Amino acid sequence: MKNNLDSSGPLRHFRMGRRAMLQSLATGVGAAVFASSASAAHEHHAAAVATDSAKAVDSSLNFLDQHAFDTLAVLGDQIVPGSRAAQIPEFLDRLLAVESRETQEHFMQALGAFEREARTANGMPWKALTADQATALLIRISTQPDGDMSRQAFDRIKGAVSESYYSTEVGLKELGWDGSIAFAPPSVCG
């Protein structure tokens, strides 16, 4: 099991330390986070019960339900083109399955923020948006002040998707890696 105190990896953007939590509470944002967390936990439980049969159909998913997975796949590819082809949503689904409950909840809240924005602006889920609608919302969300909840959700999802993508061979090649550097096998370190 993963050490939850480890601050590395693509899902580190969803971990919240005690100091950040206390600062959040002090500014009044914490109440909204806790209220949405309780609501999200209740909704997540109800959705888990309702989607058990759907998950049985697609047993390849480890943590996300099909709707959340589809939303992440579409959103991830809009933020980092090529992330879907590099199987980043599948990777994040597997990674979330072994993460702490707190990290899982923060991830689902971030996805939920995108869903809420799409439904408020266009009356449909994020995965049903046209490219123009999604682009308009991404521009609006990404240019909000740093303290905005939707902006924080954008930064977190973008961080997880981009860090995962640019750790793949395809992403590294996009950054200019030509494959000419090889690392010695562990036995050489001896």
Q: How far is residue 145's CA from residue 164's CA, in Å, rounded to a whole number? A: 25
The CA distance from 90 to 96, in Å, is: 10
Give residues with Cβ within 8 angstroms of 64, minimum separation 6. Answer: 72, 89, 93, 96
pLDDT at 8 over 80: no
Q: How far is CA 81 from CA 27, 67, 156, 170, in A?
A: 36, 20, 17, 11
Range name among 24-28, 64-68, 132-136, 157-161 with the lowest pLDDT average: 24-28
34-60 residue pLDDT tens: 334 434 444 444 444 444 444 444 569
- The pLDDT of residue 188: 66
Confidence of residue 179 (pLDDT cuts 50, 70, 90): confident
In this prediction, residue 29 carries a pLDDT of 41
User: What local confidence, expressed as pLDDT, does residue 9 receive?
Assistant: 76
Mean pLDDT, residues 121-142 taken together: 97
Which two three-digit tokens encode residue 179? Answer: 């494959």
Most confident of 14-28, 38-52, 71-85, 167-181: 71-85
Choice between 81 and 20, residue whose per-residue pLDDT is larger: 81
**Of the candidates 14, 115, 133, which has an alpha carbon nearest to the alpha carbon of residue 67?**
115
* Whole-number pLDDT of residue 44: 46
Which pLDDT score is estimated for 141?
Answer: 96
Q: What is the pLDDT of residue 111?
A: 96
Task: State the pTM of this model.
Answer: 0.69
Cα separation, 145 vs 151, in Å, equals 7
Question: In sequence order, what are the residues at sequence separation of 6 or more whose Cβ sits closer than 8 angstroms to the Cβ of residue 37?
Answer: 105, 109
Is 81's pLDDT higher than 90? Answer: yes
Instruction: Give the pLDDT band (50/70/90) at residue 33.
Output: very low
Mean pLDDT of 78-94: 96
Residue type, 144: Q
